[in-house]
Structure 1
Amino acid sequence: MALYAELHRHLGGSVVPRVLWRYFQRHSEEMVSRFDDYPAFEEFYTKPRNTLDEYLELHTLVESVQTVETLPYFIYRLLRGAYIFENLAYLELRYTPYLRTPEHLSQSERIDKMAEIVDVVGNASQIPEYPIVTSQILCMHSRLPYEVNKAIIDLASQSKKFVCAIDVAGGDRYYAERLDEWIKLYEYALSLGVNTTGHLYETTDGSYPELLPFLKRIGHGIQIPLRHPQLLPDLARRGQCLEVCPTTYMKTGTLDDIRQLKIVFDKCFEAGVDIAICTDNAGLHNVRLPFEYENLLTYDIISFQQLQACQDAAFKHAFASPYHQRPASLLSGIINPQPGKVMA
């Protein structure tokens, strides 16, 4: 039975190495020729990077091949793996639709093409044999102009059948020079009734307390308990949830040791701030969600009770979940119904 919810997974980083390699074998001799064999490609694709910027460059490798024509190919394999190997019942996929449109078009033409991308991703995600509840988070991007980012918000507002929220991504150190613009964009999104999350406090460059009041969830946010714990009471008061992606911080050089996350979990639990454990870029990491759980337990970063609390938090804070509780809780009600209660 599917049991888990994944709130922070990038479409570009979700393609596992073997699937991407097979695609290149069939469609890109030039890409295959760069590597001696598959192990060489996998090592390149999944190895740790020195900085977040260097790490994010890998997204361009996948974005360039995720087009209207190819997205169904990648999404089918993504959902098949998520259902069979990860036991996912709920999945939010995030990406920047503008970056899946043809580069040769003008900006206005690419904006117009974004709706087609959202529809393709949404329709391709409806797979009866892998019944996962899915939704999309559309990412604004720190290197895209205001007009494009505003159009992404408008598209999210107009596409609520498939889209549950907006985000900002692209490297958190680039927000500072346009901070007033980001505040304006988030205010606009909230005015349209669009849910919000954002990549903040992932690295030491991503500290923007001005943006926190506009977010319903916080993408990563680990630097808050690590360096700015005085902010935790406000997060608890607003009911915000951190989307913590453990393997990412090893891959980007943000943390030296995964055990540093114990401070993150301990301080958040003490302050009453929810954490959803996520994968971020399961393909780039070659890591699936249950492994993230197991790793945190193995290193004594969290207890089994805390893991269950994080799994509950993922459903509680899921933007498009119809239940907001783990399927295991629903199953318990069926197996052990309350005395005197007749099951329909």
Structure 2
Amino acid sequence: MTLHADLHRHLGGSVVPRILWRYFQRHNPEMAGRFPEYLEFESFYTRPRNTLDEYLELHTLVESVQTPHTLPYFIYRLLRGAYIFENLAYLEIRYTPYLRTDARLDRSARIEQMYEVIRIVGEASREADYPIVTGQILCMHSRLPFEVNKAIADAAADLPEYVCGIDMAGGDSHYADRLDEIVGLYQYARSRGLKTTGHVYETADGCYPELLPYLMRIGHGIQIPLREPERLRELAAAGQCLEVCPTTYLKTGTLENIYELKVVFDRCFEAGVDTAICTDNAGLHNVRLPFEYENLLTCDAIDFRQLQACQEAAFRHAFAWPHVRPPSTLLERALQNGDPQQEPLLATY
């Protein structure tokens, strides 16, 4: 049995269509009336969009119902599905906590409420009765003001028992006018000891080399091997990892065919750059992590040797995985020796 790690999954896009539709049927008369039948909701929710911005608008649909009161409901179902259907041993959940606060409050009150949201997500993750190691990545947002984004970084640093890293989300085409500010936010995050990833080089409009020095992992990053492969040696030397989310690029119109990712994987492997295969928004796609693997293999975008290397890289670059090695090694020791504790528990890298 292979156990997996997903390093890039958004809380807003993690709710599978059936769960979200049932929630609307029970608690949201407006959405229930708009989609009385499940199949029409699934078609609306999972269909491809023309652009990344259009695709990201769907997050607002889920953010509006992921309140402090309902978050345990969604977290429980997320982890249940991840354990039962995806064999996940490790999951990093990323989201913008400010967008789960009460919009009726003023800014300072919403910033204060972010801490409650983070604790709720953290405690719900621990109480889900499924043996998955989880960590939160808090997303700063390209459309939020500097004050809020800095507060998100502060919250991440203030709550290390729940948060394992920081991100910048909101569509990478919107970074250009605020690039100096975003660089400053990442410098501040690093100064507070935070681990970092960021949505860059996802689309042709999101190529910002100025951000790369501040990132430990690169959210998507596929435009580097596609458009600027000369940078790959620098990424390898820095030990950076690309978080590749295959289905996303079809849903956003970034790529026309998954086979186009073969160039990404081949060039990364040739240059020694680690890649982790992730789901990004498993609910919006209705595609779970094992099917991402299968789709890549079926389309000949990757081979089994490369797939295994990506699976191992995911654990190696996980921000909160507490062990030196992936779970397959621990399981093998347990089966052969009956003593999994012979494996050192705490990671040293």
CA distance in 2, matches of 1:178, 1:268: 29
> 5 Å matches for 1:195-234?
195-234=195-234
Tell me if structure 2 keeps the 8 A contact 1:297–1:303: yes
Tell me if structure 2 keeps the 8 A contact 1:317–1:324: no
Give the structure-2-normalised TM-score.
0.96
Cα separation, partners in 2 of 1:207 and 1:288, compared to 1, 3 Å? same
CA distance in 2, matches of 1:234, 1:74: 39
Partner of 1:85: 85
CA-CA distance at 1:36 after TM superposition = 4.4
Give the structure-1-normalised TM-score.
0.97
Counterpart secondary structure, 2:280: coil
Tell me if structure 2 keeps the 8 A contact 1:2–1:83: no
Which runs of 5 or more structure 2 residues have no equivalent in the other structure?
A: 344-349
Paired residues, number: 342
Q: Which amino acid in 2 is paired with 1:139?
A: C
CA-CA distance at 1:324 after TM superposition = 4.3
CA-CA distance at 1:131 after TM superposition = 1.0
Partner of 2:72: 72
Partner of 2:18: 18
Partner of 1:296: 296
CA distance in 1, matches of 2:118, 2:214: 24
Partner of 2:46: 46
- Within the alignment, does 1:104 sit opposite 2:104 as a pair? yes
- Within the alignment, does 1:162 sit opposite 2:162 as a pair? yes
Tell me if structure 1 keeps the 8 A contact 2:76–2:128: no
CA distance in 1, matches of 2:39, 2:341: 56
Counterpart secondary structure, 2:86: coil
CA distance in 1, matches of 2:33, 2:232: 50
Partner of 1:173: 173
- Within the alignment, does 1:62 sit opposite 2:94 as a pair? no
CA distance in 1, matches of 2:139, 2:341: 45
Of 59-68 and 324-333, the range deviating more from structure 2? 324-333
Tell me if structure 2 keeps the 8 A contact 1:218–1:241: yes
Tell me if structure 2 keeps the 8 A contact 1:13–1:62: yes
CA-CA distance at 1:326 after TM superposition = 1.8
Q: After the TM superposition, which parts of structure 1 deviate over 6 Å for at least 4 consecutive aligned residues?
A: none
> Could you tell me the percent identity over the aligned residues?
70
Counterpart secondary structure, 1:178: helix
CA distance in 2, matches of 1:177, 1:138: 22
Tell me if structure 1 keeps the 8 A contact 2:100–2:117: yes
Cα separation, partners in 2 of 1:2 and 1:19, compared to 1, 3 Å? farther
Tell me if structure 2 keeps the 8 A contact 1:200–1:220: yes
Deviations along 1:51-88, one digit per CA (max 9) or x if unpaired, are 00000000000000000000000000000000000000
Which runs of 5 or more structure 1 residues have no equivalent in the other structure?
A: none
- Within the alignment, does 1:247 sit opposite 2:247 as a pair? yes
Deviations along 1:198-254, one digit per CA (max 9) or x if unpaired, are 000000011000000000000000000000101100000000000000000000000
Tell me if structure 2 keeps the 8 A contact 1:17–1:45: yes
Counterpart secondary structure, 2:126: coil
Partner of 1:185: 185
CA distance in 2, matches of 1:325, 1:91: 16
Tell me if structure 1 keeps the 8 A contact 2:98–2:110: yes
CA-CA distance at 1:169 after TM superposition = 0.3
CA-CA distance at 1:37 after TM superposition = 1.0
Q: Which amino acid in 2 is paired with 1:188?
A: Y
Q: Which amino acid in 2 is paired with 1:311?
A: Q
CA distance in 2, matches of 1:127, 1:274: 32
Counterpart secondary structure, 2:150: helix
Deviations along 1:262-284, one digit per CA (max 9) or x if unpaired, are 00000000000000000000000
CA distance in 1, matches of 2:160, 2:26: 35
Partner of 1:272: 272
Cα separation, partners in 2 of 1:217 and 1:343, compared to 1, 3 Å? closer
Partner of 1:126: 126
CA distance in 2, matches of 1:118, 1:324: 27
CA-CA distance at 1:129 after TM superposition = 2.6
CA distance in 1, matches of 2:128, 2:317: 25
Q: Which amino acid in 2 is paired with 1:334?
A: A
Counterpart secondary structure, 1:193: coil
Q: CA RMSD in A?
A: 1.6
Partner of 2:347: none
Partner of 1:140: 140
Q: Which amino acid in 1 is paired with 2:27?
A: H
